[in-house]
């Protein structure tokens, strides 16, 4: 599938610049997510946090109980 693509050679400067740029973009994205979460928590309060914890707990319970059921079926 990639045999029809032209071969490109990158210089060390281009690779370094791409690495630094991707790190900066990652930090900006992470900061935006944290800031957005803080603003959302400020406006909505603790209700979404509690709902999120309940959902995560429910999913973990389902995953753990499913693995036990599969082990029982495998033993039979």
- Give per-residue pLDDT as tens, 9-66: 888 999 999 999 999 999 999 999 999 888 877 887 878 778 888 999 999 998 888 7
Is pTM beyond 0.85 here?
no
Whole-number pLDDT of residue 5: 65
Residue 74 has pLDDT above 70, yes or no: no
Question: Taking a C-beta distance cutoff of 8 angstroms, is the pair 29, 21 a contact?
Answer: no
Whole-number pLDDT of residue 59: 92
Buried b / exposed e over 48-58, threshold 16 CB at 10 Å, is eeeeeeeeeee
**Rounded-to-integer distance, Cα 76 and Cα 69, Å:** 11
Whole-number pLDDT of residue 65: 85
Residue 76 has pLDDT above 70, yes or no: no
């Amino acid at each position: 599938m990639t045999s029809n693509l032209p071969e490109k050679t990158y210089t060390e400067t281009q690779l370094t610049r791409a690495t630094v740029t991707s790190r900066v973009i990652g930090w900006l994205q992470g900061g935006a997510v944290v800031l957005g979460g803080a603003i959302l928590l400020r406006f909505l309060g603790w209700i979404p946090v509690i709902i999120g914890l309940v959902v995560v707990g429910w999913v973990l319970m389902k995953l753990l109980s499913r693995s036990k059921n599969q082990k029982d079926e495998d033993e039979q």
